[in-house]
A and B are shown apart, each in its own frame.
Chain A
Amino acid sequence: MFADYSWTELGSIFAMQGFAGLILFSVFVLMALGLAIIFGQMGVINMAHGEFMILGAYVTYLCSNIVETYIPSLFGIYFFFAMALAFVAAGALGALVEWSLIRHLYKRPLDTLLATWGLSLILQQAYRSIFGAREVGVSLPNWLLGSVPLTDIIEIPINGIFVMVLTLVIAIGVYFILFRSRMGMQTRAVVQNRVMAGAVGINTEKVDRHTFALGCGIAGIAGSAFTMIGSTGPTAGQLYIVDTFLIVVFGGAASLLGTIASSFAISQAQSTMEFFLSGSMAKVLTLLTVVGILMLRPEGLFSLKIRR
């Protein structure tokens, strides 16, 4: 399959597909970070995670339209407001869902799968009713358009770079919240032993709600970033949810570094193989590799070595 290309062409293809993979990687990381908190830390199988992401995307879409129509002078920087709003909207919905649904199901993890799957169907139909079934796109400010030419054939899109920087900032932020802050310490304590966390004075219900809301809020930011590279439709979240679960499981459920490493591996593999093979073949190969590795390391790529 490589025979039709010259060496320079091959080099460029790998570089550009690699870069496309990096953008995919960024969206995966943002989505997987939220899920690593909700699934990896809390053990809740949140099938509606993709819909929280799409909520963020629609919020960004609304923001872009409103700013473009009413305050065009601020159009250049609307994206930052949109991200903050997406975080708040998805986080608030997350808190509501935790309060009304998830908190009754902590002792029944498999039931959360059904409940959140139902929730995802409800949200999809709600998006369809409110925003219409057609996919929508946002208009980007000028400074995010265009690309940086590296060589004659290799060009790097600016919005891709923006998404990557954003991902880096958020990943570092999540690390500090989980491992360096009081809230993160309480979250980890509740996750490891809910009863005992209560018995050392942690308000477990409050911590659960905040943690779930944080995970959903990050999904909202992922949705915001997602608008830059794809169009937003009611069911777009579904396309990503399976990949995201795959990433979290492959990386080792409780490890942030593992989540990032496995998103990198999976997104790069897919993006490079998709160029040479068909999309479904690329997926088959990725899945087979992941299944193979998980058979050797059931706890995922990165797991903590402790006595249990």
Chain B
Amino acid sequence: MLNVAQYHVAYGQSEVLHGLDFTVAPGEIIAIMGRNGMGKTTLMKSLMGIVPTSNGAAAVDGVDITTMKSYERVSKGIAYVPQGRMIFPTMTVQENIETGLTISGRSKVPGDIYDLFPVLLDMKGRRGGNLSGGQQQQLAIARALATNPKVLLLDEPTEGIQPSIIREMGRVLKRIRDERGLSIVVSEQVLSFALDVADRVLVLENGRLVHDEPRASVDEEKVSAFLSV
């Protein structure tokens, strides 16, 4: 569903990602692990068209998106839940989700989104900025799902969220995958969450993928060695 080949990303002269290759199958959840500064967020941003790709290619469902602008990528099926949520604080919960409907041109929020996140239905008239961190995270996921994506990118979704909500989020992500059959790429530092949701675990170290293994055979100690400072 998502094909990334020889993917290089640089800020000016300093290259951050040195040629990544990976594919995500339809309905697969992959976790990209790595410590701070290893390039996880850069990878997400460049897949979303926020940071330009310097070399290589990315394709969604066979369509090359490497040089597209963000909103064009959304129409090709990529959705993004950024680090720090980045919901629109002065807009209501419902309006926040509706921004995701721009591409499809629909005007009503589909009911299945509120089914996934019933708390958002209760709060649909509240301003996004007044929600708690966990609720904002759900809102950011709901907004991304409103674009009806084929590939969902989540950048450190567990950051700053309490453990019970993290477990709940793991369940929701798997439910989304099962119901919609979409592929999910989640970047993560928390190993337990990654092992909980992912079918495959990749480790990003200094801008290179140094480890790629299915969940079933993952050696926890080896992966956590990459994560420890």
Contact = CB atoms under 8 A, between A and B. Distances in A.
A201 B147 contact: yes
B107 interface: yes
A198 B49 contact: yes
Interface stretch (A8-16, A106-114, A185-193, A231-239): A185-193
A177 B122 CA distance: 26
Nearest to A184: B95
B144 interface: yes
A213 B91 CA distance: 23
Interface string A279-308: 000000000000000000000000010111
A202 B103 CA distance: 7
Contacts of B146: 200
A186 B86 contact: no
Contacts of B129: 306-308
Interface of A: 182, 185-186, 188-189, 192-193, 195-204, 254, 304, 306-308
A242 B130 CA distance: 34
Contacts of A200: 74, 79-80, 99-100, 102, 143-144, 146-147
Given A182-B107, A308-B129, A199 B90 contact: no
Contact of A185 (B70, B98, B130, B143): B98
Contact of B50 (A189, A199, A202, A254): A199
B160 to A, nearest CB: 13
A189 B88 contact: yes
Contacts of A196: 82, 86, 88
6 contacts: A185-B99, A189-B88, A196-B82, A199-B48, A203-B71, A304-B90
B127 A198 contact: no
Interface string B104-139: 000100000000000000000001011000000000
Contacts of B147: 200-201
B80 A199 contact: yes
B103 A201 contact: yes
B121 to A, nearest CB: 19
A189 B70 contact: no
A257 to B, nearest CB: 14
B161 to A, nearest CB: 16
